[in-house]
Amino acid sequence: MNRPAQIVTALAAGAVFGLGLSLSGMLDPARVRGFLDVAGAWDPSLAFVLGGAVAVALAGMVLLRRMRRPAFDDGFHLPATSPIDRRLVLGSAIFGIGWGMAGFCPGPALASLSLGLAPVVLFVIAMLAGMTLHDRAWLRRTG
């Protein structure tokens, strides 16, 4: 396992992701809300961004299935399959409501920090506080 190579690769992937979000206009919450406003002035541009993301993910999964192991690790770290349960549905609903209200999800919010806008900073602080609160409450419940 080559830890420096893993870090550099992760940093490069994150930078490309952030650049892609910026170039596609997804750092603008108004564009995201426009996509979610299907009954009003719908902006379909996010559908093309999502379609591009699905295409890249599909290509990555095809490549992953052909590899015996990743380039910079001993093995793949894929999530275990889990059933759709109440926690997943509730979490998805909360995510979607927050995304619609704020116009941000975690990736674009972190990329938007580079803009230095107060609403973005407040959103990221609230997001991190919510994640921390969830983790502490979940750890307390599960042991």
CA distance 2 to 15: 20
Q: What is the pLDDT of residue 32?
A: 83
Instruction: Let me know how many helices (H) and strands (E) the chain has, helices first.
Output: 6, 0
Q: Which residues contact 43 (CB under 8 A, 6 or more apart)?
A: 31, 34, 35, 37
Give yes or no for residue 87 having a pLDDT over 90: no
Q: Band of the pLDDT at 62, cuts 50, 70, 90?
A: very high
Residue 26 near residue 32 (C-beta atoms within 8 A): yes
Q: Which residues contact 32 (CB under 8 A, 6 or more apart)?
A: 26, 46, 99, 103, 104, 108
Q: What is the pLDDT of residue 1?
A: 63
Residues 49-54 have a mean pLDDT of 90
pLDDT tens digits, residue range 111-133?
Answer: 888 888 898 999 999 999 988 99
Give yes or no for residue 17 having a pLDDT over 80: yes
CA distance 111 to 28: 11
Taking the domains of the chain in order of start, what are their residue ranges? 3-142
